[in-house]
Amino acid sequence: GAVDLIKAVLPGMRARGSGHVVNISSMTGLVANPPNVYYSASKFALEALTEGLAKEVAPFGIRVTAIEPGAFRTDWSSRSMQETRTPSEAYAATVGARKQLIKAAGSRFPGDPRKVAEAVLRVSEMAEPPLHLLLGHDVYKAYREKLTALLASIEEWKDVTLDVNFPPEPRT
């Protein structure tokens, strides 16, 4: 859906020399956890689309932003949640337990949907909006933890990372 809509609006934006694509991603587009790994995969793809598209269309005066809300009080954890009719017992302690936690906490999630809408409107009017806008204490904390762990892993494996190229050609 996002790709089709972007394809539909980009020609007009390019012709005007301005525009702003706002993609609604998710905390799970930045940090994947059970039980929604397939949803996360689609949101990770939207993150890549947002990042690459921003670089492609910037010369045309078009801005691109990904909105990454955390847990908000909407019906996504209740009425909208699609569940398998045949859950696997092998995942009961991981996927099943986390799914039950999400369902139980849904009505108490800290995020206010009205404030998300206000933030999206604010970003849509900015001359220089952010590429990514994290919304909520939970996504802020989770993404900072992920980035810290990623940087630690990069440094831990730096020698292996840098040792895979051919040696430099001798200078003549």
The percent of residues above 90 in pLDDT, for the chain, comes to: 59
Q: Which residue has the higher pLDDT, 98 or 31?
A: 31
Amino acid at 109: F
Q: Using CB atoms within 10 A of its CB, is residue 9 exposed (0-12), middle (13-18) or buried (19+)? A: middle
- Residues written for the chain: 172
The reported pTM is 0.78
Query: One of 7, 18, 38, 39 is an active-site residue; which one?
Result: 39
Q: Please pick, among 25, 26, 40, 77, the residue that the annotation labels catalytic.
A: 25
- Average pLDDT score over residue span 121-149: 95
One of 26, 43, 77, 99 is an active-site residue; which one? Answer: 43
Is 91 catalytic? The answer is no
The residue ranking higher by pLDDT, 77 or 142, is 142
Higher pLDDT, 101 or 50: 50
Whether 88 is a known active-site residue: answer no
87 contact partners, CB below 8 Å, separation of at least 6: 95, 96
- From residue 40, give the alpha-carbon distance in Å to each of 45, 53, 54: 8, 19, 21
Active-site residue, 40 included = no
